[in-house]
Amino acid sequence: MIRPPGDRPTRVWEFDSVATRSYFGYMRVVGIKVLKNRLSEFVKLAAGGETVLVTDRDRVVAELVPPREGRTPEITDPVILKGVREGWITPPTVKWDGPPPHGEASLTLEEILDDQARDREER
Protein backbone atom coordinates (compact mmCIF):
# COMPACT_ATOMS: atom_id res chain seq x y z
CA MET A 1 0.00 0.00 0.00
CA ILE A 2 1.32 3.44 -0.88
CA ARG A 3 0.56 6.20 1.59
CA PRO A 4 0.96 9.90 0.92
CA PRO A 5 3.11 11.99 3.25
CA GLY A 6 1.37 12.47 6.56
CA ASP A 7 -1.03 10.27 8.47
CA ARG A 8 -3.95 10.20 6.00
CA PRO A 9 -4.66 6.66 4.82
CA THR A 10 -5.14 6.04 1.12
CA ARG A 11 -8.05 4.07 -0.27
CA VAL A 12 -6.96 0.79 -1.79
CA TRP A 13 -9.19 -0.71 -4.47
CA GLU A 14 -9.06 -4.43 -5.12
CA PHE A 15 -10.47 -5.99 -8.26
CA ASP A 16 -10.82 -9.73 -8.72
CA SER A 17 -11.67 -10.06 -12.42
CA VAL A 18 -10.04 -7.45 -14.59
CA ALA A 19 -7.97 -7.56 -17.72
CA THR A 20 -4.33 -7.06 -16.88
CA ARG A 21 -2.51 -4.29 -18.73
CA SER A 22 -4.92 -4.32 -21.66
CA TYR A 23 -7.16 -1.34 -21.10
CA PHE A 24 -5.44 0.89 -18.59
CA GLY A 25 -1.95 2.21 -18.97
CA TYR A 26 0.13 3.96 -16.37
CA MET A 27 -1.24 7.37 -15.41
CA ARG A 28 0.38 10.00 -13.28
CA VAL A 29 -1.73 11.65 -10.60
CA VAL A 30 -0.97 15.20 -9.51
CA GLY A 31 -2.66 17.64 -7.16
CA ILE A 32 -3.68 21.09 -8.35
CA LYS A 33 -1.08 22.87 -6.21
CA VAL A 34 1.80 20.77 -7.57
CA LEU A 35 0.42 21.06 -11.11
CA LYS A 36 0.35 24.85 -10.81
CA ASN A 37 3.98 24.95 -9.71
CA ARG A 38 5.24 22.46 -12.34
CA LEU A 39 2.74 22.92 -15.19
CA SER A 40 5.24 22.90 -18.06
CA GLU A 41 6.67 19.55 -16.88
CA PHE A 42 3.24 17.88 -16.88
CA VAL A 43 2.27 19.43 -20.22
CA LYS A 44 5.45 17.96 -21.72
CA LEU A 45 4.50 14.55 -20.31
CA ALA A 46 1.03 14.81 -21.91
CA ALA A 47 2.54 15.96 -25.21
CA GLY A 48 4.77 12.90 -25.06
CA GLY A 49 1.80 10.54 -24.89
CA GLU A 50 1.20 10.21 -21.16
CA THR A 51 -2.13 10.86 -19.40
CA VAL A 52 -1.97 12.95 -16.23
CA LEU A 53 -4.88 12.93 -13.78
CA VAL A 54 -5.41 16.17 -11.86
CA THR A 55 -6.87 15.88 -8.37
CA ASP A 56 -8.37 18.27 -5.86
CA ARG A 57 -8.60 16.84 -2.34
CA ASP A 58 -8.12 13.25 -3.60
CA ARG A 59 -10.87 13.58 -6.23
CA VAL A 60 -10.05 13.54 -9.95
CA VAL A 61 -11.23 16.83 -11.45
CA ALA A 62 -9.43 16.91 -14.83
CA GLU A 63 -7.17 15.00 -17.20
CA LEU A 64 -4.24 16.18 -19.26
CA VAL A 65 -4.18 13.90 -22.29
CA PRO A 66 -2.08 13.75 -25.44
CA PRO A 67 -3.57 15.44 -28.49
CA ARG A 68 -5.76 13.23 -30.69
CA GLU A 69 -4.24 11.78 -33.84
CA GLY A 70 -4.60 14.23 -36.72
CA ARG A 71 -5.29 17.25 -34.49
CA THR A 72 -4.71 20.50 -36.35
CA PRO A 73 -1.56 22.05 -34.88
CA GLU A 74 -2.72 25.64 -35.33
CA ILE A 75 -5.93 27.62 -35.42
CA THR A 76 -5.67 30.90 -37.30
CA ASP A 77 -9.24 32.22 -37.45
CA PRO A 78 -9.72 34.63 -34.49
CA VAL A 79 -13.43 33.80 -34.08
CA ILE A 80 -12.74 30.06 -33.92
CA LEU A 81 -9.80 30.67 -31.57
CA LYS A 82 -12.05 32.68 -29.24
CA GLY A 83 -14.71 29.93 -29.35
CA VAL A 84 -12.15 27.27 -28.50
CA ARG A 85 -10.84 29.35 -25.59
CA GLU A 86 -14.35 29.92 -24.25
CA GLY A 87 -15.30 26.27 -24.77
CA TRP A 88 -18.23 26.65 -27.18
CA ILE A 89 -16.27 25.34 -30.19
CA THR A 90 -14.31 22.10 -30.42
CA PRO A 91 -11.16 22.56 -32.49
CA PRO A 92 -11.00 20.76 -35.83
CA THR A 93 -9.26 17.39 -35.89
CA VAL A 94 -7.88 17.68 -39.42
CA LYS A 95 -6.69 20.57 -41.54
CA TRP A 96 -9.13 21.52 -44.30
CA ASP A 97 -7.59 21.35 -47.76
CA GLY A 98 -10.60 22.62 -49.69
CA PRO A 99 -13.54 20.72 -51.14
CA PRO A 100 -13.06 17.14 -52.29
CA PRO A 101 -12.07 16.68 -55.92
CA HIS A 102 -14.92 16.59 -58.42
CA GLY A 103 -15.19 13.01 -59.62
CA GLU A 104 -17.56 10.59 -61.30
CA ALA A 105 -19.44 9.88 -58.06
CA SER A 106 -20.71 13.47 -57.85
CA LEU A 107 -24.28 14.24 -58.88
CA THR A 108 -25.28 17.05 -61.17
CA LEU A 109 -27.50 19.84 -59.87
CA GLU A 110 -30.44 18.50 -61.90
CA GLU A 111 -30.04 15.03 -60.38
CA ILE A 112 -29.97 16.49 -56.88
CA LEU A 113 -33.09 18.59 -57.49
CA ASP A 114 -34.95 15.61 -59.02
CA ASP A 115 -34.01 13.45 -56.02
CA GLN A 116 -35.19 16.17 -53.65
CA ALA A 117 -38.51 16.51 -55.51
CA ARG A 118 -39.06 12.71 -55.32
CA ASP A 119 -38.38 12.76 -51.58
CA ARG A 120 -40.94 15.54 -51.07
CA GLU A 121 -43.57 13.68 -53.11
CA GLU A 122 -43.20 10.60 -50.90
CA ARG A 123 -44.09 12.57 -47.75
Q: Where are the beta strands (DSSP E) in the chain?
A: 27-31, 51-56, 59-64
Q: Spell out the domains of the chain, with CATH numbers in brackets.
A: 1-66 (3.40.1620.10), 69-123 (no CATH)
| Nearest residue to 36 (alpha-carbon basis) of 9, 56, 13 | 56
pLDDT at 108: 82
Q: Tens digits of per-residue pLDDT, 52-82?
A: 999 999 899 999 988 776 566 666 778 887 8
pLDDT value at 17 more than 60? no
Task: Identify any residues that bridge with 59 across adjacent strands, giving them in sequence order.
Answer: 56
Which of the 8 DSSP states describes residue 96?
-
pLDDT of amino acid 5: 54
How far is residue 123's CA from residue 109's CA, in Å, rounded to a whole number?
22
Q: What is the pTM of this model?
A: 0.43
